[in-house]
Amino acid sequence: MSRILIVGAGLTGSLCAHLLRRALASKLQLVIWDKARGAGGRMSTSRCTSDPNCTVDLGAQYITVTPDYAQKHKMFHDELVAKGICIPLRATVEGMVMKEGSYNLVTPQGVSSIVKHYLSQSGADIFYERHVTHINLREGKWEVCRKSGTPENFDIVVLTMPVPQILQLQGDISQLIKEKQRQQLETVSYSSRYALGLFYETGTQIDVPWAAKYISDNPCIRFISIDNKKRNVESSEIGPSLVVHTSVPFGIENLEQEKEAVQPLILKQLNSLLPNLPQAKDIKCQKWRYSQVTEAFPECPGQITLHSKPFLLCGGDGFTHSNFDGCTESALRIVETIVSQSQH
């Protein structure tokens, strides 16, 4: 019985756990740690504090299925649609540029419902607010230490957090990363941005002709979505919600500021774009230090092996590209690597 730790409860980590459970069923004990308070990673859905039924997607907005992956990952897309987790995007998105033959899927229950689905299928023991700090090799097992609490031992460790966070880990792992691998890991880069979620009272009308819109001529705001309209779930019982994503230059310029200082700057620009916007009852501000991969690991291998006996693997969109299919590809490569060894 192998004890496997997956660090990160985002899309790559959750799908990886689901696929490992399917491939190796009874041969493993799966454990997932995430430093956040809930599942989703950059596929995060945030709830209004006064009305948990009112939610907003602060990270990924929808899944774009491109012709390249429509066949390759068909079973994943089809399963999510069959279970009602995803539905086709029917709402109007102004300024969206689509590749020919592509289509979009949205999530009526919020984008984190995809991650939650895979986690529930995985049968893993999931722990939140566990921030990994050190990884050491102890008598053929990995001793994993976290900010608070006792270290635990695992037979296999899979790291799916952003690459800069992997490079910050201390202990034996820092010696185990070969010089060439370290140089390649250091080339991986991410864009940064802020997201703002605004929640409104039941019955509030947001009077715009679109469900979402890409903004090209504002120094601060790049994208706005009326989230319930985008997901096609407008309800008379739940108030609307709106999400704003800033541009990358604005994100980078204000990256080291406190969220409390940045929020009014974004709201000021939002009010200039939508002057008749009603007053929100609740606002959440999210800083995405690692928003999307701008430069992936050379040749996009999906995963890399830092140590093979015992296994220490890295995966995630830093080793492919930042979207559903990039994370799916990474999860498939990780599982392939672990399963092939377990069969020897």
Question: How confident is the model over 290-304, as pLDDT tens digits?
Answer: 999 999 999 999 999
Q: Taking residues 10-28, what's their average pLDDT?
A: 94
Question: How confident is the model over 100-121, as pLDDT tens digits?
Answer: 999 999 999 999 999 999 999 9
pLDDT reported for residue 344: 64
Question: How confident is the model over 180-212, as pLDDT tens digits?
Answer: 999 999 999 999 999 999 999 999 999 999 999
Backbone torsions φ then ψ of 158, nearest 5 degrees? -120, 120
Q: Taking residues 52-79, what's their average pLDDT?
A: 96
Question: How confident is the model over 1-18, as pLDDT tens digits?
Answer: 899 999 999 999 999 999
Could you give the percent of the chain with pLDDT greater than 90?
Answer: 95
Identity of the amino acid at 241? S
pTM of the model: 0.96
Structure-token pair, residue 81: 């649609």
The DSSP code for 90 is: -
pLDDT at 150 over 90: yes
**Full DSSP string of 223-288:** EEEEHHHHTT---SSS--EEEEEE-HHHHHHTTTS-HHHHHHHHHHHHHHHSTTPPPPSEEEEEEE
Structure-token pair, residue 226: 């009326």
pLDDT at 223 over 80: yes
Place 341 in a pLDDT band, splitting at 50, 70 and 90.
confident
